[in-house]
Structure 1
Amino acid sequence: MSTGEGGKAIIAALAANLGIAATKFVAFLLTQSSSMLAESIHSVADSGNQALLLLGGRRSRRAATPDHPFGYGRERYIYAFIVSIVLFSLGGLFALYEAYHKWHEAHTDPNHGAITSWHWVPVAVLVAAILMESFSFRTAIKESNHTRGDASWRQFIRRAKAPELPVVLLEDFGALIGLVLALFGVGLTLITGHGLWDALGTGAIGLLLVSIAVILAVETKSLLLGEGASPQDQAAIERALLDGEAVDRIIHMRTMHLGPEELLVAAKFAVRTDETAADVVRHIDEAEARIRAAVPIARVIYLEPDVFRPEAAATPKSGFDGTQLASEAPTGK
């Protein structure tokens, strides 16, 4: 995983979260604030998540083996999915558990959970954490803009094939919102002297983390199942195939990401009936070269020559979305 693919953003987030986690724990030990404890665990979970992303990027670069002939590119998706589980359980569920107990105890004793000493510590720590987290978030945005293009942020998170940047973006965004919620809970607890506000802030942090974890799980699950090439890449592959004089038409084509930077292309295309075997082999080699030139990440290509049968075209073939592929229309090139 290169720096341009999210490594710089991950390292920035890891450095920020390690520093933030340490200061939050100190603040919790001094004040016994549940919001500070929830935020401490959140930062520890985020630090572990960034380490998992770096590990997944490293392991995905292993060479293909007989047991894994298509390589280990999808390992980055597996580790990103583990990140969503860690964020859900260690971050979100812990915060909700802590909020429940603090809320129950505060109802039993209105003064329970009030911050009675070191009043300035949690506020100072949270403000400092917001500044450090903002730097990490800014780095993630800057790195994402290199590949986002004209897509909206929602589209970028949903369509990105490399999971690291969307994961870091959502984590940093959630961390910033969580810090604001913690500051809200701690601030009102200091003003009112009532621990219920601290419990409310902790619960809001838990709900936020669970929501982000669910979004990450849904998106990485889609990548694990195997997503096809983007519409732009698929159109470029079709144009590259049809660019040769020997390719009469594309009968059908399928694509799938073996990893963020590795695409599998399988296509059946029609050739003229008067072609010799030597001609067909040459045309396949030329078509593969054109595809790789048009879409460099198309590294695994399987092309099958066939003879186009009009009667077979009478039954439209469907793409993954249920629509007829443009290249399978009855009209020729």
Structure 2
Amino acid sequence: MAQHSSKKVIFAALAGNAMIAVTKFAAAAFTGSSAMFSEGIHSTVDTGNQALLLYGLKRASRPADERHPFGYGSEIYFWAFVVAILIFAVGAGVSFYEGVHKLQDPHPVSDAYVNYIVLAFAMVFEGAAWWVAYRAFKQGKGKLGYLKAIQASKDPSIFTVLLEDSAAMAGLVVAFVGILLAQILGIPELDGAASMVIGVILAMAAVLLAYETKGLLIGEGAQPALVRQLRGIVQDHDAVFHINELLTLHQGPQDLLVTVSVDFHPHLSADEVEAAIADLELSMKRADGVVRRVFVEAQSWRAHRAAVRHADI
């Protein structure tokens, strides 16, 4: 269900960017607007990025095999990081370069009304794609603030599209204002300045996206609320005397690995310990659909502490 939502968001963004990219380039060629050319680059990069995210989702959905026994779920994190690099290197880099070039060789924008028409249509298409991404993101963020929700999210496909579309909407406003002021004031350099501002906006979005996906690539645990829930399931079990350690690791947006070291009551037989382990695994998987693999280790708390001290030496 979560992956279906991610694909819906990406397809909406892909359709919106693809429909407007060619139009922006045509308008830039017709009017000579630097800001409009930057917007065309922006839409082209975004279209390619959404294609990469779809490719990443497809790759991540492959079943586990001998070479990758835990599956390929984390591959979506890699492709989201590639998207961040492309936004920074291509989108921001080309936009900033185009703005600098316009400042060095300023020339007035001709037939500016063409740009206004294209920008208006772009706002409609981009706005529709942004709304789809925003609704999906808002549904999953709960009571968290937007920045906190991005930091806590384990599905980069949704917040990547939301960041891209937010940057796109901001870029359209900047392009409109830059072209309008250049026309009214007769200062063509303002068109180039608008292109540079668009580059800065894209760079900021790319840095934030790269930072968040880097954390997912390195390996992030489950959200604190889920960790507390899982810990409660283990601690409340009749067979458990003490929890030594509970660790979680997201192998993908919907693939959580849980490892638990448990000190069971000493009076339990081997069969009773085995039954308790099976019950704990089933209970934790039922607690949240993202819990895919659970490993429970039976270990006295003294032995666990000794092992931890030995590892720290």
For Structure 1 versus Structure 2, the TM-score category normalised by the shorter chain is: over 0.9
- The separation in 2 between residues aligned to 1:41 and 1:289, in whole angstroms, is 50
Which string of whole-angstrom CA distances, capped at 9 and with x for unpartnered residues, describes residues 50-105 of structure 1?
11111111111101111111100001111110110110011001111111111112
Match of 1:114 in 2: 108
The answer to whether the aligner puts 1:196 opposite 2:193 as a matched pair is no
How far does residue 151 in structure 1 lie from its aligned partner after superposition?
Answer: 1.3
Q: Is the CA contact (8 Å cut-off) linking 1:273 and 1:307 kept in structure 2? A: no
Which string of whole-angstrom CA distances, capped at 9 and with x for unpartnered residues, describes residues 228-275 of structure 1?
011111011111112221111101111100101011111101112222
Q: Is the CA contact (8 Å cut-off) linking 1:269 and 1:305 kept in structure 2? A: yes
Match of 2:62 in 1: 62
Match of 1:136 in 2: 129
Say which SS state the counterpart of residue 248 (structure 1) adopts.
strand
Unaligned runs of 5+ in 2: none
Say which SS state the counterpart of residue 289 (structure 2) adopts.
coil
Q: Is the CA contact (8 Å cut-off) linking 1:115 and 1:193 kept in structure 2? A: no
In structure 2, do the counterparts of structure 1 residues 105 and 225 end up closer, same or farther at CA, with 3 Å as the change threshold?
same
Match of 1:275 in 2: 268
After TM superposition, the structure 1 = structure 2 runs for residues 131-280 of structure 1, keeping only pairs within 5 Å, are 131-280=124-273
- What TM-score do you get using the length of structure 1 for normalisation? 0.89
Q: Is the CA contact (8 Å cut-off) linking 2:112 and 2:179 kept in structure 1? A: no
- The separation in 1 between residues aligned to 2:89 and 2:264, in whole angstroms, is 55
Supply the RMSD in Å over aligned alpha carbons. Answer: 1.8
What letter matches 1:115 in structure 2?
Answer: V
How far does residue 310 in structure 1 lie from its aligned partner after superposition?
Answer: 9.8
- The separation in 2 between residues aligned to 1:307 and 1:29, in whole angstroms, is 73
Q: Is the CA contact (8 Å cut-off) linking 1:18 and 1:44 kept in structure 2? A: yes
Quote the sequence identity (%): 37
How far does residue 192 in structure 1 lie from its aligned partner after superposition?
Answer: 2.6
Greater helix content: 2
The answer to whether the aligner puts 1:96 opposite 2:125 as a matched pair is no
Match of 1:24 in 2: 24
Q: Is the CA contact (8 Å cut-off) linking 1:263 and 1:298 kept in structure 2? A: yes
Say which SS state the counterpart of residue 105 (structure 2) adopts.
helix
Q: Is the CA contact (8 Å cut-off) linking 2:244 and 2:304 kept in structure 1? A: no
- What TM-score do you get using the length of structure 2 for normalisation? 0.94
